[in-house]
């Protein structure tokens, strides 16, 4: 059984149905890529996994999402704890306009960690995990907005890691970065999967092929096909998947 078990999940924005009966299982400490054309529900799906869609007016969700065996749409679920456990990396790097230190330790502060030693240790460890510690350890009070795009994206990942999540959701994390930076972030993802389960939404099929272990193909809110990445890219069983990955469409 996977760390995330989704069964028969449908999602509505008002009357528009963005997800149609999605069922899939995501394995622990693997990278799962979700591909598909724009507006097909990948991002919506990703955001149902930590209930970020709750913030959208008129959104409504049916079906079941189990994370670590817990139904996250059940009443009385601790949303704050869920979002700590399931972190989200956004499309564009979006550090707060605060210092590097404040950015990384933000999550700790909101979760009430006050012990200075713990904060220092987590700060160092998060920045080390994203390979930023050496570059930035002497300039922690610099404004985070002065970093390069790639550094900012790394910082955003560090900000998540600081609160010790189990699952990292990444919503096209490289779309605002150049090729070189993309490669480095992909390396980082391979590194991170030793500890975390990663679900990544991407427009870029090559990226999915390069980094992921499993791939799911979304089309118009439907999960058309899901399987091991090598299988999806070499021997897709569904005609529509084949059309997409061979570039005939999308």
Partner 1 sequence: MTIAVLFFIIFFILKKGLPVLSFKFLTTNPGEMGKTGGIFSTIIGTIALTVTAVLIAAPLGIGSAIYLTEYTRENWVTRVIRFGAECLAGIPSIIFGLFGFILFVTKLKFGWSILSGSLTLAFMILPTLIRTSEEAIRAVPYVYREVSYSLGSTKWQTVTKVVLPSAMPGIVTGIILSVGRSIGETASVIFTAGSALRLPTSIFSSSRTMSVHFYILAREGISMSNAYGTAAILILAILAVNLVTYAIMHRFMRKYC
Q: Return residues touching partner 1 (CB under 8 A).
A: 50, 52, 55, 57, 79-84, 87-88, 90, 92, 94, 96-98, 106-107, 109-111, 145, 156, 159-160, 163
Looking at beta carbons only, is 109 or 142 nearer to partner 1?
Answer: 109
| CB of residue 44 to partner 1, shortest distance in Å | 14
Closest CA to 33 of 174, 178, 184: 174
- Of the two residues 96 and 125, which places its CB atom closer to partner 1 in the complex? 96
**C-alpha of 126 from chain center:** 17
Q: How many CA atoms lie within 13 A of 128 on its CB side?
A: 6
Cβ proximity to partner 1: between 84 and 240 the closer is: 84
153 sits in which H/E element: helix 149-161
Q: Which lies closer to partner 1 via its Cβ, residue 93 or residue 227?
A: 93
CB of 54 to partner 1, least distance (A): 9
**Secondary structure (3-state) at 183:** helix
| Closest separation in Å from C-beta 220 to partner 1 | 25
114: Cα separation from own chain's centroid: 27
Assess contact for 228 and 213: CB atoms under 8 A: yes
Residues near 59 by Cβ (< 8 Å), separated by ≥ 6?
Answer: 11, 12, 13, 53
Cβ atoms within 10 Å of 68's Cβ, excluding its own: 13
CA-wise closest residue to 86 among 30, 47, 29: 47
Q: Which lies closer to partner 1 via its Cβ, residue 113 or residue 220?
A: 113
Is 57 or 117 the residue whose CB approaches partner 1 more closely? 57
CB of 108 to partner 1, least distance (A): 10
Minimum distance, C-beta of residue 138 to partner 1, in the bound complex (Å): 23
Nearest CA to 136 among 99, 180, 182, 105?
99
Least Å from the CB of residue 157 to partner 1: 12
């Amino acid at each position: 059984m996977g760390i995330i078990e989704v069964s028969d999940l449908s999602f509505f924005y008002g009357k528009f149905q963005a997800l149609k009966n999605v069922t899939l299982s995501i394995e622990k400490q693997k990278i799962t890529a979700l591909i598909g054309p724009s507006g097909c529900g990948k991002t919506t799906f990703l955001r149902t996994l930590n209930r970020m869609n709750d913030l959208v007016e008129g959104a409504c969700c049916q079906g079941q999402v189990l994370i670590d065996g817990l139904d996250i749409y059940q009443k009385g679920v601790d949303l704050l704890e869920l979002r700590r456990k399931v972190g989200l990396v956004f499309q564009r790097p979006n550090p707060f306009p605060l210092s590097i230190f404040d950015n990384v330790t933000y999550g700790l502060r909101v979760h009430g960690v006050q012990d200075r030693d713990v904060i220092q240790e987590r700060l160092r460890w998060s920045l080390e995990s994203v390979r930023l510690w050496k570059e930035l350890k002497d300039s922690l009070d610099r404004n985070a907005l002065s970093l390069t795009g790639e550094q900012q994206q790394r910082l955003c990942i560090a900000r998540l890691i600081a609160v010790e999540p189990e699952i990292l959701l990444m919503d096209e994390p490289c779309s605002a970065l150049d090729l070189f930076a993309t490669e480095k972030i992909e390396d980082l993802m391979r590194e991170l999967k030793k500890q975390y389960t990663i679900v990544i939404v991407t427009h870029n099929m090559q990226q999915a092929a390069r980094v992921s272990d499993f791939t799911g193909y979304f089309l118009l809110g439907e999960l058309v096909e899901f399987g091991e990445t090598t299988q999806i890219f070499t021997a897709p069983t569904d005609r529509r998947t084949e059309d997409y990955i061979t570039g005939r469409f999308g």
